Structure formats: C-alpha cells, structure tokens
Chains A and B, each alone.
Chain A
C-alpha cells in the first residue's frame, strides 16, 4: 500500500481480499461469535427437522389420488381432496364442464391484458393496452355468455375463478376511485372535501364482513321487489368501494410527499387542474407509494375469501363445502394447505413484482 504513484497514473487495483465471497458472508452473518454460532446451529437443526417432517407428511407418506378419504390409507397427507376435485377448485361446483374452455381462455387473455401495464419492454405495448381496455367486456362475454355462447349465471361461478374475478375487479376499480377520493380530500371545494372525508372515514371504521353482510342480506330487504340485483355484483361493488377508501389514504400519503412547488410550477405554466394532477403530481406521488399500493392489493386479494361468509363459493367457500361432504370427513388441513398455496403464489408474485418495480424506479432517476 505504500507504493507511490504520480497523479494521473494510479492503476486500477483489485478490491482487498475477503470483501466478498461466501466464507466472509457466513462469518459475518452466521458465525460472528460463539453465541451466534450456537444460535445458527440450533435454528438450522430446527429448520431441518421441520423440513423433514413436512417432506415425509406431504410427499413420502402422502396419498395423491383417490375418490374419497377412504382411499387415503397412508399416514401422511391426503392430497386426493385436491386432485379429485381439481377442476372445481378452478371453476366452482356448478360451472358446466363443457364450458371450462371459456374461463381458461379468459385467464389466458387476462395475462395478455395485464402484460403491457407490467412491462415496458413488451412488443406491441400500445396495441395491447388498447386490448386491455376491452378486456373487461371480453371477459364478461366469455365467463357469463351471450352472443352465441351459452349463459352461465354468476351463481354458478366459483373457486379460483370467483376469487380472481373479485380480486381483479377490486384491484382495478379501487385504484382510480381511491385516487379520486384522495384528490377530493385535498380539494378546495368544501362540499367535495367533506363528502370524501365522510366516505373514507365511514368505510375505514367498518369491517369488510359487515359491509358484505349489509350488501348481501340487508340491502335486498330494503330495496323494492324487482330492484334487487345480482349478488356477485353487489359484492363486487362493496369490495371495490371498501378497497378504495384504503387506497385513498395510501395515495394521500404520496400526494403529501410531493413538494407544493411541483403543482405551482405546473399551474404557473398554464396547465389545468387535471393536467397538473395527471401529468405532474400523480405520477410522482404514486411512484412513492407503490409498496403501499401493492400491500393493499395483496390484502384485498386475501380478503376476497371473506365472501365465503355471504354464501359465495370462492376458493375458501368451495373448500369448506367440500370438507362438509361425507366422503371427505376427516380431511381438513390438506385442502386448506392447497388453497393457501394458490393464494400464496398469487400474492407472492405481486410482492415480487412490486420489489422489481421499486428497484427499477430507484435505478432510474428521482
């Protein structure tokens, strides 16, 4: 280190050894002292033991196929409860099996419609975005029917299909409504502001279950005959409004973080209110609160399971119904583990995507 270089002649040197590498990491994080080494060993043993038990229960001694609980003779898990009813977990008890291609196509097109919003580098992004605007109509046509396709009433929808419909509608509706509520809450017009505050605070003070109950049980009693409308639609509206109130508060946090000078500069150039919000303030504000927004999406997606309580056969409602059948008496945890895994995959993907997005934005500017 004592070599002398003249200015401008200093060569690029390799970093000092041991600043990187597995051994250094292990030493720093797991074996930095006697106590930490001990903790590491105990925890590692515990984790291995859990993994081993899970492997034996879930794989080695498990039964994967069968028509009822009686076919599950081994000591381990009875995955037959998932495999025997596999299609029903996806589409519900009553969705006609001859029409399964329709929800399948709708799932496939959903990934096409979502892609241009998630990835900037995708080909035909513009065209795909336009397609995504029409997607709700296409999905409705596929799932419900009409225009030559046999009608499948919404009370026949179930399983993952229903969970996804409620989750996606809730997510897609809550963001714009939440943004409008957040802007309304900051509005200079007292009436708008008061309405938004009252709505947000009422919704945030009430559990989703009570909102769903009100929508599905009480509302029909108050409405005159013939005015009652589709149960799924009521649930969709309630879930969306509910999620919007939370979204509004998240967005408001983002808005508060943007210096007032941004809005002033935009207004001073002659941009109108909506242009200022849409082009200058919201893009920055939403970027800041992406983690909050995605958390809210994930919460919403999991909360869809509450609709089981008002008698919809979403993943959870369907599972509960299957477990009540005489053939599956005695099975419990396997079915819940199975749908838990489905939820986990969906939510974990959202969370990973948000992380990726945050890192991309961090690498960018701002």
Chain B
C-alpha cells in the first residue's frame, strides 16, 4: 500500500471502510481483524459487553486512537500519520462522547462557534449565527450564553451534538451518548439523534438503547472480545442472530 492519499473511485465510494484492522494496547489485543464498510447515509449501531472494544473501534475512525495493522479509509482518505490529513478528516467527522466533554470555561455559544472559527476560519459573526441555528435545532437556543455547568446532563449532551454539527460533518460518531444521563433525559437526546438519522446523516452509534437501535439502525453490530461477532439488520439481529454469544447478550439486556 502506498502512503498518503489514496482515493477510492466510483459512485459507491463508502463513507468508512475498515479492512483487517488490528490494534493492541501494549500486549493486549483490543481489536482483532475488524472488517467494516459503512455506506453514505447508513446508520450503524454497535453494542457489546463492557471492554469489548466498541469505544476503541470508533475512536480509531477519527484517529483518537492509532491502529497498528490493516487500513482505515474515511471518505476515501486513508488514515496515515500525515497530521494535516488527520485534522482534515477530523473536521469532517463529528464525535459525541459519553461524558459530553463540553469546554467548561466557554459559554454554550462559544463551545459551538469555536471550531468553525478556528478550523473553518469562518468570521465570528457567521459562526455564531450558525451555532444559534444548531442550538435551535437541538431546542436550547435560550441557553446560549450560559456555561456548561449550568445545564442539565441532557441539555449538555444536546449542546455537544450541536457543537459537532456546527462543523457540518459528513459522518457522526456517538460513543454511548446517553449512558451518563438520568433516565428522564435520555429521550430528549435520542429524539435529537433520531431526527438527525431521518435527515440522512451517516451515523455510527455505540449504545445499549435497543429501542433506538430497532427504529433507527440499518445494521446492528455486536462486538465481543475485540471482534465483530454479528453484523445484521435489526429484524434479523433481534429475531434470528447467528451467534450464541449474541443471543446470550440479548437475553441479558432485553
């Protein structure tokens, strides 16, 4: 394989392609031979027991973690050590974290406008208008001048989603976006995500919200021990999973 740019040709160029990806933390083999293709506009839900490598997998897609073997292509661009390319890919791939990770020293509006101003070099005024648009979409424009600590968990996570959307990403990654939330706030975040899915955003969502998976996902992936065990559409995944381990997992969480 040649380093640097490598573009997949053709109209069906996939949003994300992983081929034979392996990753180790020291001696520990976290990701084992991952093959995964995500088409544009596809919604993928990833589930699996704790420690199975779900976070690691999606963090490899925007290079928050480095893989050691195999290749990852995002929008046709191959992930290599080229830092410029990585920042380019990161600005096209939005990520939402379990712990929100809003910047506590900046207001909600500043949180959202920061990347458009600094990365896209957008004028401040335009960036703030854009930020307000997305804050309206997640239904909290009135919180724009507050600081993250003054918001509830559900509101903070919606801000985090708006913040990611401000970069106009082609792909959104969600790492257990509702796991740190109180039950009554989970729905408001899922509603925003469902809306996003309906608009055709390419999404990879790590979650155990099976209701969400059933209604939104095109495919559900079950991971265990660093491997993809099952990869099926919701209907088949819930009703006729192939692997015993998937059945056990489903029995536990449903």
Contacts and interface: CB of A to CB of B under 8 A. Distances in A.
Contact of B97 (A265, A271, A272, A280): A265
Given A264-B64, A365-B147, A365-B150, A270 B88 contact: yes
B103 interface: yes
B118 A365 contact: no
B105 A259 contact: no
A366 interface: yes
Contacts of B104: 284, 365-366
A284 to B, nearest CB: 5
Nearest to B115: A269
B90 A269 contact: yes
Contacts of B94: 268-269
Contacts of B164: 269
B91 interface: yes
Interface in B139-195: 147-150, 163-164, 167
Contact of B115 (A261, A262, A270, A287): A270
B95 A268 contact: yes
Given A284-B104, A365-B104, A267 B90 contact: yes
A269 B150 contact: no
A272 B103 contact: no
Interface residues of B, number: 28
A287 B103 CA distance: 14
B52 interface: no
B62 interface: yes
A279 to B, nearest CB: 7
A270 B101 contact: no
Given A269-B119, A269-B167, A284 B105 contact: yes
A271 B115 contact: yes
A266 B105 CA distance: 13
Contacts of A265: 95, 97, 101-103
Contact of A268 (B62, B88, B118): B62
Interface in B82-116: 83, 87-88, 90-91, 93-95, 97, 99, 101-105, 114-115
Contacts of A272: 83, 87
Interface in A224-242: none
Interface string A275-319: 100011001100100000000000000000000000000000000
B240 to A, nearest CB: 36
B90 A262 contact: no
A25 to B, nearest CB: 33
B105 A270 contact: no
B181 to A, nearest CB: 16
B103 A270 contact: no
B164 to A, nearest CB: 7
Given A279-B118, A365-B150, A269 B103 contact: no
A365 B146 CA distance: 9
A269 B150 CA distance: 23
A261 B101 contact: yes
Nearest to A364: B147
A94 to B, nearest CB: 48
Contacts of A366: 104-105, 147, 149
Contacts of A275: 118
Interface string A249-275: 000000000010110111111111001
A360 to B, nearest CB: 13
A271 B118 contact: yes
A275 B115 CA distance: 10
Contacts of A364: 147
A266 B87 CA distance: 11
18 contacts: A264-B64, A264-B101, A265-B95, A266-B103, A267-B64, A268-B95, A269-B91, A269-B94, A269-B163, A269-B167, A270-B87, A270-B90, A270-B167, A271-B118, A284-B105, A366-B104, A366-B105, A366-B147
Interface of A: 259, 261-262, 264-272, 275, 279-280, 283-284, 287, 364-366
Interface of B: 62, 64, 83, 87-88, 90-91, 93-95, 97, 99, 101-105, 114-115, 118-119, 147-150, 163-164, 167
